[in-house]
Structure 1
């Protein structure tokens, strides 16, 4: 047994020393103390429902220390920085408090104090204004309906005073859509630090064509009255007023008209026949034109 223990004792001693060194290195590394600085959001506690704190930074620099393994794994979400403003009204000078997790020590906070003031939130009603960014045809108009027509803006008095409207952008197509609104100042620029209630509006757009009118000449060819001949004919008027879009009536100068002749004509009888204008698509007329017609028997051959 003793011989076995003493066999190759230099190698065994070297392995033992190496194992002790590795253990010492790991233990020392885990126990090493290090520092780290993180940017942590600041929460405000103790404000009333209609109060807002002015001058509070969004982030503070928090330096912590602890074992290297713990500090390296630490994230900003693991630290809680807050400002206690319970019972504060008006100006304040309060320290920023930080709650580190167990096993982590707080070294410093920058800034460690906040100077500001607590202000009551105000509100007012503003109109909703929707801007259309569509290419509007020259012969069309839009009927725009917005619901609601007014919204409430809330925030600090200084910012609320700048807001004159709740603005939104719409593509200008016919139909109904929900448009997100933003608080706008007199120049149409967004105002920060305020909230809109509600923050959306429903926009309904109805496109209506603009009708144009034009006076055109009406040409009516005499109808076929065989075996009779036309003895006399006259139109009640030779011009009519047509209505349509600008594109539809543009360039119209004359139209043709047709007459439906009764199947049983009687010579010597004066007929008053309605003329039917041949209207292109998109064109209408409310004028009525009549053709007075009298036929006679054909002359003997």
Structure 2
């Protein structure tokens, strides 16, 4: 499940007054080694003073003058992915976590880097499946229909057995790069596991078909290490509705991923290049493609 900021936020923090000196706060920093300080004036939060602010400010300055100019408050239930996006978009180093207008925690870039690092595949540098679930929920809440393209590398087990895992790892890395290079910006790619990749799109089935065919051709045309012939099979699952989906998005995304995965497996077995099956939704279909 997608983690919330309440699960990783700093709960033991030190609030400083806007009129306190940088020198005074530096002493607190040296003693407690905290990354940032909420700054208040007459009981209200007016900013965040980071360790970076402290290091570049003269010791005679006050917190109000030295603190970062921008700050943003989020709720404890905010997904960690959303907090990551906010920090990047706004160019901030920390976020204030409030519940019922009360300061309950802090989220820093360092915390998020450590947390999201758990969701990065070390071999390909792609995010894992949690990344797909978060962005799928965002798209669906914004009223978009979604589709999943699920990709398998054909005969990858045989490649590992015959040529070794080092060659297999090189192939996985290169496939990941090819997929990244040939995907539209609005899509989200993850390494799902083993030789499997999943792509979340805000498109309908016919558009995903064109994307899948492009990816299969790009991989088949690529020169891989030791001239190993590499090809893919792809399954597509998604709806065709134009109205907003309601309710919990997790079961919907899980269902689509499962159907697309089954479809990609069928693509390896089917003699024809196209298989159509029901997704379990009245307005959805699944399709499979094999190179």
Report TM bin, short chain.
Answer: under 0.3
Structure with bigger gyration radius: 1
Counting strand residues as a fraction of each chain, which structure ranks higher? Answer: 1
Counting helix residues as a fraction of each chain, which structure ranks higher? Answer: 2
Higher-RCO chain (CA-CA 8 Å, sequence separation at least 6): 2
User: What TM-score do you get using the length of structure 2 for normalisation?
Assistant: 0.20
User: What TM-score do you get using the length of structure 1 for normalisation?
Assistant: 0.20
